[in-house]
Amino acid sequence: MAHQAHAYHMVDPSPWPLTGAVAALLVTSGTAIWFHFNSTILMTLGTMLLLLTMYQWWRDIIREGTFQGHHTPPVQKGLRYGMILFITSEVFFFLGFFWAFYHSSLAPTPDLGGCWPPAGITTLDPFEVPLLNTAVLLASGVTVTWAHHSIMEGDRKPAIQSLALTILLGFYFTFLQGLEYFEAPFTIADGVYGSTFFVATGFHGLHVIIGSTFLAVCLLRQIQYHFTSEHHFGFEAAAWYWHFVDVVWLFLYISIYWWGS
Amino acid sequence: NLRNTHINIGLRQLSRRTIASSARRQLDNTVKEKQKLFQEDNGMPIHLKGGSKDALLYRATMTLTVFGAGYVVYVLFTAAMPKKPQ
């Protein structure tokens, strides 16, 4: 093995950026083809390719870090910057939808009845399931912190239990939101209220699913002894992401569910 | 004889232990073995270094990639030039 005289990671050539780019092309074109020609082959093919790419790319990163030791302190610092920058970009993503919500709700137009919520819209009671959802996500923030401390202390069983509990709480949130979506007295087609509600909460729900998946991968890795008490950045990244998802929900709850009702 | 008795007692204790641990589904720590596998100086890139399963998954992914890239060009081309009788 050639020895490097530096602490940085010169990665092996990899096919996954190419397969990922083709997957993105297939998913986007496939969606357009589905809308216009009622065929889902391209979009499905693209989604399969996307899943294969994500699985193999992240599998390789785990191999490079945990099995080959490439994630030295400077490399880990870069990974930390990367995750922080990515989450920041997601903050801006949600900022746009909050902008749309406040644009429409602070100055409701005459066609809405000049009021918010618009005339004819029966809003959801913020003190029923939405409040429970708030409690569920806040609790999951506690359990993920418990998991982190357990990992740092080298307590294997509490780490596994608290991480599993966090994921279960995430699933419970998704389940409750699914019920709310099904039972809601308004749809996405109900004017700007419906649009802002379902696009903002819908993207949030997608991020809860992504975050739960990330935590589930961490659970599998914790079970397989990948994490040490000193080095477990994958878990920290998942926990950061999870806290971000929780904070977005708090803003959604205050703005759309409570103030907007 | 005494040696066989010792072995039999040992085996009984071992089976008791394995039954107890299998009931709790203990997972062995295989990180050291994986570290050895992925640090082997065989010139293989990381995405193929795990063995034949890697090669199979890679080939399947690449096949879908090449086929998909060709297919999307075909679909978009035909979508852009519909055969419509004037």
Task: Report if residue B27 sits inside a domain.
Answer: no
pLDDT tens digits, one per residue of A192-241: 999 999 999 999 999 999 999 999 999 999 999 999 999 999 999 999 99
CB < 8 Å to B79, chain A? 33, 36-37
Task: Report if residue B17 sits inside a domain.
Answer: no
Amino acid B18: pLDDT: 46
Task: Report if residue B71 sits inside a domain.
Answer: yes
CATH architecture type of domain A72-258 = Up-down Bundle (1.20)
Task: Report if residue B48 sits inside a domain.
Answer: yes
Query: Comparing A63-67, A249-253, B9-13, B43-47, which segment has the lowest mean pLDDT?
Result: B9-13
Amino acid B83: pLDDT: 75
Task: Report if residue B28 sits inside a domain.
Answer: no
Residue B5 has pLDDT above 90, yes or no: no
Cβ-defined contact of B50 to A49 (cutoff 8 Å): no
pLDDT bin (cut points 50, 70, 90) of residue B3 is: low
- Collapsed DSSP state (helix, strand, coil) of residue B17: helix
Residue A178 has pLDDT above 60, yes or no: yes
CA distance A22 to A46: 8
Task: Report if residue B16 sits inside a domain.
Answer: no
Taking only Cα atoms into account, the Rg of chain B, rounded to an integer number of angstroms, comes to: 28
CATH 1.20.120.80 in chain A: give the residue spans.
72-258
- The B residues from 30 to 69 touching A (CB cutoff 8 Å) are 30-31, 34-35, 37-39, 41, 45-47, 49-50, 57-58, 60-62, 64-65, 67-69
Fold of A1-70: Helix Hairpins (1.10.287)
CB < 8 Å to A30, chain B? 72
DSSP A104-129: HHHS--GGGTSSSSPTT--PPPTTSH
Instruction: Please name which of A62, A56, A59 lies closest in space to residue A19, comparing C-alpha atoms.
Output: A56
Q: Are A202 and A178 in contact (CB under 8 A)?
A: no
pLDDT tens digits, one per residue of A15-24: 999 999 999 9
Domain containing residue B68:
43-86
Task: Report if residue B70 sits inside a domain.
Answer: yes
Structure tokens at B82: 């519909």
Cβ-defined contact of A53 to B79 (cutoff 8 Å): no
Residue B9 has pLDDT above 60, yes or no: no
Task: Find which of A10, A14, A22 to mutate to test the B interface (most B CBs within 10 Å of its CB).
Answer: A22
Nearest to A56 among B27, B49, B61 (CB): B61
Amino acid at the residue A119: A
pLDDT tens digits, one per residue of A150-176: 999 999 999 999 999 999 999 999 999
| pTM, two decimal places | 0.89
Residue B11 has pLDDT above 60, yes or no: no
Average pLDDT taken over every residue of chain A: 97
Q: Total structural domains in chain B?
A: 1
Task: Label residue A132 exposed, middle or buried (CB < 10 Å: 0-12, 13-18, 19+).
Answer: middle
DSSP A164-221: HHHHHHHHHHHHHHHHHHHH-SS-TTSHHHHHHHHHHHHHHHHHHHHHHHHHHHHHHH
pLDDT tens digits, one per residue of A96-129: 999 999 999 999 999 999 999 999 999 999 999 9
Amino acid at the residue A162: S
Q: Are A8 and A74 in contact (CB under 8 A)?
A: yes
CB < 8 Å to B45, chain A? 12-14
pLDDT bin (cut points 50, 70, 90) of residue B84 is: low
pLDDT tens digits, one per residue of A128-141: 999 999 999 999 99
CATH 1.10.287.70 in chain A: give the residue spans.
1-70
Amino acid B4: pLDDT: 52
Nearest to B62 among A15, A36, A46 (CB): A15
Amino acid B82: pLDDT: 73
Residue A186 has pLDDT above 50, yes or no: yes
pLDDT bin (cut points 50, 70, 90) of residue B27 is: confident
